[in-house]
Structures are given as C-alpha cells and as structure tokens.
Amino acid sequence: MPASVENWTEQIRAGDIRAMSRAITAIENGAPEAGQILRELFPATGNAYLVGVTGAPGTGKSTLVDRLAAHHRSRKKTVGIIAVDPTSTFTGGAILGDRIRMQGHAGDSGIFIRSMATRGFLGGLARATADVALLLDAAGKQVVLIETVGVGQDEVDIVRLADCTVVVMVPGLGDDVQNMKAGLMEIGDIFVLNKSDREGADRLDQQLKAMLQIAPERDGWKPPVIRTVATEGKGIAELAAAIEKFRRHFEAAGLRRAKQTERWKQRLLDLLEHRLMARALGDASGEASLDALAAEVAERKKDPYAAVDELLRRAGLA
C-alpha cells in the first residue's frame, strides 16, 4: 500500500474533514484509491448507528435530520449526515438548499455533512452511499443520518443499509395512507408525522395507527407514530427516544447480528454485480459499446442474448 494512502486513512480516522471529503469524491468517482482506503478502514467500522430518513419530497426530512443532529450534538455524540438525491445527476439544486439549512452546524467538527447524487452510467448510488457510511463510521461518527427522497429502487436499497428506518409523512399532501406507496409502509421502523401543526394531522395520525395495527409485526416490534413540528423542534426528543428504543429492542432480542448478516449478503451481491458490470463495461468505451449493441438489438440485427454473450466474451467472462 502506498504511503500516501496510509497517511490518508490515518487522517480520515482522525476525522480530518478535507481527507474525508477527498475520499468521498474518490468513492463517487469509483477511483481505485477508494477501494484501497475502504479496505484499510473496514476493521475500524461497525460502531456507528445508521438511521435512514425517507419520505416524499418536501415532507421536512432535512429539517428533521438537522434537528436530530443538533439533539445528538447537545449530548456530545458525533454525527455524520449523508443527503442522497437519486433524482439528481449532479450535486446542486435542491441539495444546495440542504447545505444552506445545515450551515447552523458550520464550525462544529463533531458533525460532517455531505450531499450525494447519481454519477456515471453504471449507477450504484446505493453502493456509494454505503461506502460513505462506512467511511463516516471509521472516522468515528457515532450516529450516521442518511436522508433520501421517495420510494424508488435506489431509495429502498439505500434504506436497506440503515439500522433503523424513519419514514416521514405529512398531512394534506393528498397522499392518504390508503393510496400511499405500499413500499413505505413496509420499510418503516418508525413513522414520523411531521408538520403536525397543520390541518389533517389528527386524521392522518388515526389512519396511520389503524394501518399499523393490522400490519404484521416484524421481529416483535410495532412501529410507533411520532408527531413532530420539525421547524420548531417539537417531537425531536421523542423521535430520538424512539430510535434508541428500537436500537435496544434489536440488541436485547439478539437480532442485530442476523440483520447485519442479511445486510452484508445484499451488499456482497451488489458489489459482485458492480464488479462484473465494471469488468464488462467499466472503461470509457463501455457505454459506447453498450449503446452500439443496444441499437443493433433494437433494429433486430442481433438478439439480446447474443449481445450479452458478446459482452461477456469481450470481458473474458464467457
């Protein structure tokens, strides 16, 4: 291992912000150093508690994450925040708003905030997010909060990384529990009814609770509904307490290891898939040859099975 990488990982472990930022950029770009660094860091991971915060756009996820972070900081816990936007292909726009909102933490070295968006045609945002979470873990962040929008496959994959998933809902979006995406109900360990200062909060509260009543219990845990007004910091302590209760429930029931094994199984599959794809298509000419083959298939000049055989052969995999 080059001395520079060794140095770099030491700086990350010490929580050096510049070293961490550079490593995250390397992860996002799929640079070879990223793999080396993550290998070096891995033995130092496994201590952070990962909380996923998801929900429809504008429900107040960033505000909640910001308040939760402040809650932990007031208890001297170090915090990492990853704001993931699968709908954006570059960092900016709405995410920039998050940065500005979170500037209240500027100058606090106990908190590290990073936005991530999709890069490259091989995708892999969930994989990059998982790697960044490992990096924050190795850097000693005790709580890692991962904010992600919506319920697409990317988001579900991202949420799967978390030890605890918080689903955020608000009254008056017209998305009554009935026509809410089923996916959200299934992934939530805790439901937050944010903007509970707004009209319709009681009704949504009742609907949610009725729905959760009939939902099958998972591992002896009944997801609670926590009412918050994130902008005013109301309900934040209750939310933090619910997350803590969930953590202890899993530890007491001895389920944490089983859940982690399942999580690593998913990650290994994801890493394998990515490695194989990268081998078949990874270099600069990869996307071009994929486009060319796709065009041939679309024109019925070639069948898709032969096209994949060709890709595998070129990569020396068949």
Footprint of ligand GTP on this chain (CB under 6 A)? 57-63, 94, 149, 194-195, 197-198, 229-231
**Residue number with CB closer to ligand GTP (59 or 78):** 59
> For residue 144, what is the enclosing H or E element?
strand 143-149
Q: Kindly write out the interface string for residues 92-111 of this chain, putting x where it contacts Mg ion by CB under 5 A and - elsewhere.
A: ------x-------------
**Residue number with CB closer to Mg ion (11 or 87):** 87
| From ligand GTP, Mg ion, none, interface partner of 80 (C-beta below 5 to 8 A by class) | none
Give me 191's structure tokens.
């439901």
| From Mg ion, ligand GTP, none, interface partner of 60 (C-beta below 5 to 8 A by class) | ligand GTP
The answer to whether 63 contacts Mg ion (rule: CB under 5 A) is no
Please classify residue 28 by burial: count the beta carbons closer than 10 Å to its beta carbon, then call 0-12 exposed, 13-18 middle and 19+ buried: buried
**Residue number with CB closer to Mg ion (42 or 90):** 90
Please report the sign of the dihedral spanned by the C-alpha atoms of residue 297, residue 303, residue 309, residue 314: negative
Bridge partners (DSSP) listed for residue 83: 115, 147
Distance CA 318, CA 313 (A): 5
Q: Which stretch binds Mg ion (CB under 5 A): 7-15, 58-66, 151-159, 168-176?
A: 58-66
> For residue 116, what is the enclosing H or E element?
strand 111-117
DSSP annotation of 216 reads P
The answer to whether 62 contacts Mg ion (rule: CB under 5 A) is yes
**Residue number with CB closer to Mg ion (62 or 196):** 62
Distance CA 218, CA 162 (A): 16
CB of 98 to Mg ion, least distance (A): 5
